[in-house]
Amino acid sequence: MSMTLCDRKTIRGFLTEQLQEDERLDFLFHLDECPNCWEAVYDGTKATHPHFYKQASKKSKFTDAELTKLAAGKEQKEEVFEVA
């Protein structure tokens, strides 16, 4: 079966796992070179499995002062002892 790599039918076949093994491998190599198809596959996968693409919270659980204290405490604990 001959296929054009940059078309909706091929992308849909890839996303629904309906491509033959050789076609799938060709398309995977094509994805490395084609940002348009890569984006279409990314968007399609994101639409199908949104739970894998949850955005991380942008809120920090620590204040800058707390992070500074943690960093200072870590530096103090890193002592080197030599045993004779």
Task: Report pLDDT for 78.
Answer: 53
pLDDT at 28: 93
> Is residue 55's pLDDT more than 50?
yes
* 12-26: pLDDT as tens digits: 999 999 999 999 999
**Residue 5 and residue 82: Cα distance in Å, rounded?**
63
What is the arithmetic mean of pLDDT over 57-80? 66
- Whole-number pLDDT of residue 2: 46
Does residue 70 register a pLDDT over 80?
no
Angle at 39 between CA 38 and CA 41, to 5 degrees: 65
Q: Is 38 helix (H, G, I), strand (E, B) or coil?
A: helix
